[in-house]
A and B are shown apart, each in its own frame.
Chain A
Amino acid sequence: MSPGRGSILRRRKTKRLKVLRRLLLRCVSIVCALTAMACGSSVTSSKTPSIPDIWGVWMGLGGVTDADPRFRNVPFPAPQFTEWGAVESRRLASPITPGECNPWSPVMFMNGGGLFPIQILKGPNVIVIHHEAVTQPRRIYMDGRAHPAPDDLLPSFLGDSIGRWEGDTLVIDTIGTNGRARPINGYVAGAVTSGVDTAPRLPASDQLHVTERIRLAGGGQYLENEITVDDPKTYLKPWTVKRYWQRRPDIDLQEYACTDNSRRDAEGQEP
């Protein structure tokens, strides 16, 4: 037996052992990693509750007489106006509807009326809410940012909205409205049911600050939004309402091109 062959065999054996050892180490590290991940995820889930399933299409329950009474939307309260608010309320009570195709205020957007559905979608750093009859969506920024400084705010119909999760509740804070949106309770208020157009309109001024607390209700089949309106230009003190929607996966939002066939003359409205 030549010494050379024995040496080659020893080297091969050593190499096999090294490969085995590397394989073993790799297995151990994978197991460790998996264990760590499992441990990590269980720790994370115990600290951060899962985000509730508020996504999809919801139909408001305003004016729906046969809705579950626990979730039926009732008319807005009659808040106390400031002097300016009272004058503005009377101005908006006209049967002539100005700017009917403009976007709504964030409060009227979330009025929970039974005529139009909303759709809530989740993006990487934003929650987007569509309303069938409003051509602009609400964008709720969820990345922890603050509102822009007053000089950097661009006043808009829907305002600037930032959101955060407090447990199972989505809390949305909105400022930066332009004060030109239609009244919070619409241009019809109680007219269709009462036949008269005398309900006080609830204006939304450029001082509007809205806080919303959105959570699931009724075993997840309903959505509740506790809306607090703080508008010192219009109201003497803040007021709060709750609005409800029913989950409706059977409904799709339809297109609503508001300026397509707006026949103001035939309605007796100003053109």
Chain B
Amino acid sequence: MKLRTLALVATLLAGQPALAHHSFATFDLARDLTLVGTIKEVQFTSPHVWLQVLVPNARRGQTEWSIEAGAPGMLLRTGWKSTTLKAGDRVTIVTHPARSGAPSGSLVRVTLADGRVFGPGGPPSPQPSRH
């Protein structure tokens, strides 16, 4: 399972699909930012799934980040369940942050405390060709 997830992440990193719901150009797709924090809320909704994450900041407080993933169906087809993450879970998130500097970004991958890795949703692996 873990190998499959890693393979999926590798696939996504190698070449994400050229068609999605809308432009992600407001996020800096060339930049990876790593956040370590705690899940506050999971919005497993259309059109996109959002993770609300509390991340310690330099002011000894916490900043709430909004991290955007793909559509619910895309996530289900790539190993997620709506219950994979829940409030209180410790996570490490790699994100393409907003160009504006706002605490939001698009999900690259999230690593759970048990080591499982999930991507932002993408094409499911095709079935082996029979011909």
* Total count of chain B residues near the partner, CB < 8 A: 47
A133 neighbours in B (Cβ, 8 Å)? 21, 47, 71, 73
Question: Are A255 and B26 in touch, CB under 8 angstroms?
Answer: no
Chain B residues, CB < 8 A from A121 = none
Q: Mark B19-47, 1 if CB is under 8 A from A, else 0.
A: 11111111101100000000000010111
Interface presence of B56 (CB below 8 A): no
Q: Tell me which of A67, A253, A263 contacts B66 (CB under 8 A).
A: A263
Task: Please state if A254 and B72 are interface contacts (CB–CB under 8 Å).
Answer: yes
Q: Is the interface of A mostly helix, strand, loop or mixed?
A: loop
Partner of B15, one of A193, A218, A261: A193
Report if A100 contacts B (CB, 8 A).
yes
- B130, A221: Cβ atoms under 8 Å? yes
- Bound together, the chains give a CA A257 to CA B44 distance in angstroms of 12
Residues in A neighbouring B22, C-beta threshold 8 A: 97, 100, 187-188, 267, 269
Cβ-neighbour of B20 out of A186, A218, A221 (below 8 A): A186
Instruction: Tell me, in angstroms, the Cα distance from A61 to B20 when the chains sit together.
Output: 13
B119 on the interface (CB 8 Å rule)? no
Most buried by A among B27, B123, B129: B123
Report the nearest B residue to A95, measured CB to CB. Answer: B25
C-alpha gap A254/B102 in the complex (Å): 31
Residue of B nearest to A193 (CB): B15
4 closest A-B pairs by beta carbon, nearest first, are A63-B17, A114-B123, A268-B26, A95-B25
13 pairs from A and B in contact (CB 8 Å cutoff):
A63-B17, A113-B19, A115-B17, A115-B121, A192-B16, A192-B18, A218-B130, A219-B130, A254-B72, A260-B46, A263-B66, A268-B27, A268-B102
B residues whose Cβ falls under 8 Å from a Cβ of A: 11, 14-27, 29-30, 43, 45-48, 50, 66, 68, 70-74, 76-77, 98-100, 102, 104, 121-127, 129-131
Write the residues of chain A forming the contact surface with B, with a CB cutoff of 8 angstroms. 59-68, 75, 94-97, 100-101, 108, 111, 113-117, 132-133, 185-193, 195, 197, 218-219, 221, 246, 248, 250-251, 253-258, 260-263, 266-269
